[in-house]
Every structure is written in C-alpha cells, then in structure tokens.
Amino acid sequence: MGCHCLPGTYLNIDFMSITPATSTSAPFRIIISGGGTGGHIFPAVAIANEVRRRHPEAEILFVGANGRMEMTRVPEAGYDIVGLDIAGLQRSLTPKNLLFPIKVMRAVRKAGKIIEKFRPDAVVGVGGYASAPVLMAATSRSIPALIQEQNSYAGLVNKLMARRVQRICVAYDGMEKFFPADRLVLTGNPVRTEIADGQRAEALKFFGLDAARPVLLVIGGSLGARTLNQATAAALPRLREAGVQLLWQTGKTYFPEAEKQAAPFAADNLKALEFVRRMDLAYAAADVVISRAGALSVSELCLTGKPSILVPSPNVAEDHQTKNALALTQKNAALLVRDAEAEAVLYDQALNLLQDPVRQQQLATNIRQLAYPQATTTIVDELLQLIPNRRS
C-alpha cells in the first residue's frame, strides 16, 4: 500500500482500504502517528523520508487527527494517512470535556483495527492528539514503539506514553526529568539539512538586496505572529534610518495589512513577504534573525548558526517556547525578548545587535554548537534497531 506518488497528491484514506501485511518477508511496515502543528508534522515526514531513502520498498502509513493540518500536509508530502476522531482536552470547563474519554476509547479501538490490518514492524509517535491512541494500541500488542519529543518541555502525550515505549528521542539535555533515563537518546530534531546550504551571493540576488547593507530576517511561522508583526510595522522608519534591509515573513492572515505598511519603504529594501519558500536563501541573506521559539525554528537557527533574538509565543501549552528559548540563552547562544515586552524593546535589541559584529559572532559560534545535523539519521537508526530480525 506504500505511496509512490508525487507530493501534492491527496491520499488520506479510510482504514478499511489498508492493504494487510501477508508475509514475514514483506518490506518494512512503519506507522507514524501524531500531528496537529507543523512542529509535529515536519519531523514526522523527515523520519518517513529517511526510512524510505534507506528502504525504498518500505510501507509507511501515517495516522493523524481528522480536521487537523496533517490530513493535508502529509498527503502533500506523498504519504498515505488515516484519520482518527480525536481532539485534546479543552483548557476551560466545557461540556466537550465530558465526551473526551469516549472519544479516546473509540480512537484507541480504531487505532487497534488499523494496526491489526497493517501489522507494522514498529510505530513512531511524534506528539499530538492522534499519537496517544496509536501508541496505546501498538504497545498493548507488543509492537516496538519510539517517540520523538521536539521541545525542551515534554508534551503531555509523550509524557503519558513514555513508559510504554522502548525509545525516546529528544532534542535537549536534561529530559530525564520527564522521561525514564534508560530509554532516552539525545538526537536533536529532524530538520532539512539543506536549510543551511544557501549561499549569500545567491540569496542577495534572489531577494534583490544590497550586499553592502545589513539584513534582518523576521519569521513568525507560517501563520505569522501578531506581536512580531506589530513591532516590525512600528519599527519600519527606524530600520530605514539605520540603513537596515528587512525580510519580513508576515503569515497569510497579516500579509495584506503588512504589505500596505511596507509599501512606502520598498525602495529601502524593507520587504513584507506572506511566506518564504526558499528559507535556505532567507537564512543565508540574514545577518540577524528575529523568530518565535518553536522547536523546529530553534533547530533551524542552530543548524544555520544565525545570531538570533527569540520572542516566545505565550499562546502554547506549558509555555514551552519560553523553555526552548531559555535552553539557548542559558548557553549564551541567543537573546530573549518576552512577548509582552516586544513592542517596547525588540527593535532596540535588534538594532544594537546589528551594529555589534563581535556579539553576532559570539552568538553564532555558540548556537552552532547546539546543532544536530544528523538528527534524522540517528532517529531512524534507533527506530530500525527496535525491529526484530531487521534487514540492514
């Protein structure tokens, strides 16, 4: 049943159409579960790609949550996905929470049927709503399982599943406070290693920038970040006065307004961009980066070695972006500005850093030391070691 179609083909399927495993000599069969955000989905796809690179015949099935972004993003990457009807607990008191145990039981039951039909050699959980039912169903059937935790503060699902799985791949030191130490492997987060391959000369030409002037890159994620956008819009006159060039990734929702705000500054190379598809070139062009502190953003900044100012989103579970940022700032590898203070002080810090090449170099050196360029291959090494009688 493995998908060999081109990315962009939509293949989310009903589990009844899954082709059962029929032979012990069949190719590897792997289920990867979880999602909800890009921070879960992109590592999952990276793991699948590495399995498929080593074993082109491997059968890989994703299991996600119906209505969540993985149900479109995974098929775009060229893999089959099955959806479970599962959602998280609401933080406020709501009647929906009364239905939560019923939804979990139904999701575990459906996950069990998927597993019995697909008969995976191993299961990977990357966090998110769908991960728990699949891991529960798999481990109750003695199927080897691995979880991958992206953040420095472990997610609820991964914490709950930790004692049921054989391997826990993490991106930060000190995760034994959440997980059994004997199952931990420090691997880093899977990110596209080509993100660090951009060449500055090509990048400046691609974005139409001046090689003689500094470049600031602002990234708030694919959805954008309100605080970063408001602070950046207010700072446009200051950036022009300082001779700074700007690549401002606004996100879809904020782009129409940001485009109008940036229009009077177009001749000064202060550019509002809805989405940056060539992030390798954006990083290559940048002297300094302002970013949220999601796990994958932080991992990309480490890999590219960019002097960075992190502005953690306050709208995430357990304030985990602040914890991600602190893991860097405590090693003098990035600067931190709280979201509530960003409009007042963010661009003071950004302009100071842009004018301080010694500090830039110090941050760049320290953040590169935190990179794990072999993260994906290490995780897949650990995964394949779990499969009995594995084929090399």
In the annotated binding site for UDP-N-acetyl-alpha-D-glucosamine, the residues are 37-39, 151, 192, 222, 295-300, 321
Enumerate the known binding-site residues.
37-39, 151, 192, 222, 295-300, 321
Tokens matching residue 191: 């990110």
Tell me the Ramachandran region of residue 140: left when phi exceeds 0, alpha when psi lies from -120 to 50, beta otherwise.
alpha
Amino acid type, 212: A
DSSP 12: B
3-state SS track over 202-229: HHHHHHCCCCCCCEEEEECCCCCCHHHH
Locate the DSSP E strands across the chain: 29-33, 59-65, 80-84, 122-125, 145-149, 167-170, 184-186, 215-219, 245-249, 270-273, 288-291, 308-310, 335-336
Nearest Cα neighbor of 333 from 373, 293, 282 is: 293
**Tokens of residue 16, six digits:** 């009844």
* CA proximity to 128, closest of 105, 94, 151, 106: 151
Q: Among 57, 43, 64, 69, which residue's Cα sits nearest to residue 146?
A: 43
Rounded Cα gap, residues 370 and 377, in angstroms: 17
The C-alpha atoms of residue 123 and residue 32 are separated, in whole angstroms, by 6
Mapping DSSP to helix (H, G, I), strand (E, B) and coil, where does residue 351 land? helix
Residues ≥6 apart with Cβ < 8 Å to 368: 302, 305
* Residue that has been written with the tokens 């990309």 in this structure: 300
Residue 353 half-sphere exposure, CB side, CA atoms within 13 Å? 27
Beta bridge partners of 168: 147, 184
